[in-house]
C-alpha cells in the first residue's frame, strides 16, 4: 500500500466588517483555478511550522497566526490519484494586510519561481476553490 503524502492547507482569514479568505491564482495558468496556500510537510517538520512556511512561500505573508486545526482530509491527488493526507488550519491575518498583491514563490518546491496573484475574498465564497479546498470552510467560526 502506497504511503500518503503529508500536507497542510491554510484558511487565512482577515476580519474586517465581514470575514475574508486569502486566495490566489497562478499568473498565466488560469486552468489551475483559485486556491489557498497548501503544500507538503518536510521530514521532521511540525504541522504548524509547515503551514506557516507554506503561507510565507506562496504569498509572502509572515505576520500571521495559527488559530487552530480545522480538519484532516484523506483524498487522493486529483490527477495522479496518489494518496495524501491534508491537515487544514485556520490562520488569522492582520486587518491592515493589503487587499491584493502579486508574489513570486520562493522556497525549493515545484512551484518555485511561479507568480501568484493573491487577494482576499469575502466569505461565503461565490465560486468553489480548486481541488475542493473549500470543503472545510464551514468549520471555521469567525
Name which CATH class applies to 5-136: alpha beta
Q: What pLDDT, on a 0 to 100 scale, did the predictor assign at position 2?
A: 74
Residue-wise pLDDT tens digits, 30-86: 999 999 999 999 999 999 999 999 999 999 999 999 999 999 999 887 778 889 999
Compute the average pLDDT of residues 21-35: 96
For the chain, the average pLDDT equals 93
Sign, Cα dihedral of 141, 99, 95, 73 = positive
Contacts 24+ apart (CB under 8 A), 37-46: 37/9, 37/10, 37/12, 38/7, 38/8, 38/9, 38/10, 38/86, 38/133, 39/7, 39/8, 39/109, 39/111, 40/5, 40/6, 40/7, 40/109, 41/6, 41/7, 41/8
- Which residue in the block uniquely carries the three cell numbers 491554510? 10
Give this prediction's pTM. 0.94
Q: Lowest mean pLDDT of 67-71, 104-108, 112-116, 134-138, name the range.
A: 104-108
The answer to whether 91 and 10 have CB atoms below 8 angstroms apart is yes
Amino acid at each position: 500500500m502506497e504511503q500518503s503524502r503529508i500536507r497542510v492547507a491554510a484558511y487565512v482569514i482577515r476580519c474586517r466588517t465581514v470575514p475574508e479568505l486569502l486566495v490566489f491564482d497562478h499568473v498565466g495558468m488560469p486552468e489551475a483555478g483559485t486556491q489557498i496556500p497548501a503544500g507538503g510537510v518536510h521530514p521532521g517538520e511540525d504541522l504548524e511550522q509547515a503551514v506557516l512556511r507554506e503561507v510565507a512561500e506562496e504569498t509572502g505573508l509572515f505576520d500571521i497566526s495559527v488559530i487552530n486545526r480545522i480538519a484532516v482530509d484523506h483524498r487522493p491527488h486529483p490527477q495522479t490519484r496518489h494518496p495524501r493526507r491534508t491537515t487544514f488550519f485556520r490562520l488569522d491575518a492582520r486587518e491592515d494586510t493589503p487587499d491584493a498583491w502579486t508574489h513570486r514563490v520562493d522556497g525549493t518546491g515545484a512551484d518555485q519561481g511561479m507568480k501568484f496573484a493573491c487577494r482576499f475574498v469575502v466569505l461565503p465564497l461565490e465560486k468553489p476553490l480548486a481541488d475542493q479546498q473549500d470543503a472545510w470552510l464551514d468549520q471555521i467560526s469567525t
